[in-house]
Amino acid sequence: MYKSIRKQFLKQLILATSIFILLLSFMFYGFTKTTISEEIRNNMINDAKLINAISRSSQTQNIPFSMLTKGDANVDIVYIKSEDIVRFNIYKQNDNHYAKLIYPFINKKNYFIKIIKNVNSSHRMLNTIYRNLLIMSIANMIMVVLYALMISRVLVMPLLHIAKRLSNMNENSLTKIKLINLPIEFHPLAKSINHLTKRIEGYIKYQKELFIGAAHELKTPLAVIKLKNDVTLRKPRDREKYEQTLRVNNSEIDSMSKMISSILEIGRQEGATFEQPITMDIIKYLRDKMVGYKLLANKDLVSL
């Protein structure tokens, strides 16, 4: 199965961003919960300090401590055989949420102020914050998906541009890819493709020149053979003339055969085993060629 860079990018971006959003939401919820809990604790400690202050200066034995607290709270003075430490916790009972504070009572040793306060309103506020965070997280994830789709499309556009330019190329229109239309990150790829295109263009040009030259080189011996045969057949001649014509034709055929073999060897360059160089008389070779070209040049003047 083929892999898609765009799909992998989408998956990684969506996964990473979703995890980040969830972690950020939980951190914010935890921070808010801790802040509210600390606020409740500080308020209840302030109430306990107020009770201690009033109980120290008052001569009344029965002080309505509940009237001194903020909000709905129950205040009791309890005996606990323990050290003078402040203890605070939030608990649930009968679908209600309460905050309890144990604070040292200064008038009597081992006596503590116990304040129990209903914190349902704070709990409802936390639930509302939690729901809002959940809704915002879902909305943010949807936005992340849309954003990732847009970004991935922007990142893939240069590759699509390069692919389109390559698909429109053929052996007659090997145009370069313009770097100005691409982001700088894709310049090395575009330069490599342009370099490869230039090499392909040179190879195609070389192949065309090779085929044109081979066609001309094959056409000339055929013309010589045909003209020699035409001249020989125009009128009866001696046996020696016929033999000479046949020898010339065989020589031209041998030349064409060698040329065709060379072309085939070029087509099999990767596994070709070329012939060993041989020593030849270049003067005789050129003289034989000159005879054929001279015959072609003077074919209109040949006397039949």
90 or 218, which is more confident: 90
Tokens of 69: 């607290």
**Cβ pair 110, 79 in contact under 8 A:** yes
Average pLDDT, the chain: 77
**Cα(98)–Cα(73) distance, integer angstroms:** 9
65-87 pLDDT, tens digit per residue, is: 555 555 567 888 888 877 777 88
Per-residue model confidence (pLDDT) at position 35 = 92
**Cβ pair 10, 149 in contact under 8 A:** yes
| Nearest Cα to Cα of residue 45 among 100, 83, 122, 110 | 100
Place of tokens 């295109």: 197
Burial annotation 150-189 (CB, 10 A radius, 16+ → b, else e): eebeeeeebeebbeebeeeeeeeebeebeeeebeeebeee
For residue 271, report the phi and psi dihedrals to the nearest 5 degrees: -120, 20
pTM (two decimals): 0.52
Task: Please enumerate in sequence order all residues whose Cβ is within 8 A of that of 21, keeping only pairs 6 or more positions apart, or say none.
Answer: 137, 140, 141, 144
178-229 pLDDT, tens digit per residue, is: 777 777 777 887 888 788 888 877 777 777 787 787 777 777 777 777 777 7
| Nearest Cα to Cα of residue 155 among 190, 176, 177, 185 | 185
132-187 pLDDT, tens digit per residue, is: 988 988 898 888 888 888 887 777 777 777 777 777 766 666 777 777 777 777 78
Per-residue model confidence (pLDDT) at position 118 = 87
Task: Please enumerate in sequence order all residues whose Cβ is within 8 A of that of 165, keeping only pairs 6 or more positions apart, or say none.
Answer: 175, 177
**Cβ pair 148, 10 in contact under 8 A:** yes
Fill in the amino acid letter for 210. Answer: L
Task: Please enumerate in sequence order all residues whose Cβ is within 8 A of that of 2, keeping only pairs 6 or more positions apart, or say none.
Answer: none
Per-residue model confidence (pLDDT) at position 58 = 52
Using only C-alpha atoms, the chain has a radius of gyration, in whole angstroms, of 51
The neighbour count for residue 75, using CB atoms within 10 Å, is 21
- What percentage of the chain exceeds 90 in pLDDT? 6
